[in-house]
Structures are given as C-alpha cells and as structure tokens.
Amino acid sequence: MKTARMLGAITLLTTTAFSAQSALAYQAGDIYVRAGFEKTDSSSSTFKVDSEKQSVDDDIVFGYGAGYLFHNNFGVELNGSQTAKQELSGHGTIESTPVNLMLNYFPLGGHVSRIQPYAGIGVNYTNFDTDSNFDADIDDSWGFAAQVGVDLSITENILVGMYGHYAEVDPDITINDKDVGGIEIDPLVIGAGLTYRF
C-alpha cells in the first residue's frame, strides 16, 4: 500500500513538473554547461603486433562541456571527458583524454520548444598515456569531430539530453621498441546527462 502511494505521489509530482514547466528557447547570448556519463565504443579498432591481431576495449566515463550561442542558431562548444582506460588485448592499458572544439547548429534556436536538437562539427585533440607496466609510446592525435544531440527542457534553465560524438583518433604507437604504425581508434561516444542554461 505504501509503495502504491509513493509511486502515485512520484507520478503526480513528475506530471506537475512537466505540465508547469516553461518551454525553452535557445537564443543568442545563452551560456550553458553540460555533465553526464558516456560510453566510448572503440570495439572496431584493431591493429597487429608481431602478426597478432589486437583490439581496444570500451569504457564508461564522466563527460562535460560548456558552450556559448553567438547567434540564435549557432554556437561554439568545448567538451571532453575524464581519462578513459582501455585495455589493449595481450599488452596493457592505454589512457586517453579527449577534448573537442565544436561549432554547433541549433535548427530550432530562437523558437520556443521543449525539444531542442543540435548538430556540430569541429576538431578533436586526444592526449594518450600508458600504465607503468606497458612499454609503449603513443603520440597525441588531432582529427575531425562531429556530434548530434537533443535537449529536453525540464525548467527554463535545466535540461536533460542525449548525444553522440564521433572523432578521428589515429595515433601512432610504438610497442616494445617496435613501430606498430597508426591505430584507427575513431571512437563513437554515446552519452546522456544534464545541461544548465544561464
């Protein structure tokens, strides 16, 4: 009985919150910050060491970002994530820290709507490191980046959203003094979290 009452109260509060909310209109001059969790999918990344095929594992990390709209439909965003630790099969762990500088397009910018989609293109920089037991040298990487996402307004300032990032991340790697060449990691990142608009 108590559980039923609690569920009813939660449903009522949620319905009230959504029905009473103010719809959001992204517009020129807006500043926002994002935070959430991301899954980095690098499962398609393979390379060879001594004729043995290697792969890069996935990881789940904390993501963040901040942006500014200089036009109702356009803005810039700087985003990244905490260092991801990804196992190279049979060798050791690489640590990657990405940062993306994006130019975003908001098709509904300037229009009042609870749903605000966006898409962006830009540049990715990824810094690499390895654990102390892994004798490898990995160059940092620069490449193309793209993203798509959608925000749903809860209040005029708070939004929940989902997004996807893609980046060209192709570092050169040397393992045990052997030049392996470039690794095409090219991660696809899927994330979800909260945005606060000032």
pLDDT at 79: 97
CATH number, residue 31: 2.40.160.20
Q: What are phi and psi of 143, to 5 degrees?
A: -170, 175
Domains contained in the chain, number: 1
What burial class does residue 114 get, using C-beta atoms within 10 Å of its C-beta: 0-12 exposed, 13-18 middle, 19+ buried?
middle
Looking at residue 183, its pLDDT comes to 77
Parent domain of 168: 2-197
Please state the pTM of the whole predicted model.
0.79
Structure tokens at 39: 């899954």
Count CA atoms within 13 Å of residue 95 on its CB side: 8
Kindly list the averaged pLDDT for each block of 10 residues, start to end, along the chain of length 198.
Answer: 46 44 82 94 60 68 96 97 78 84 95 95 93 77 96 94 93 77 82 96
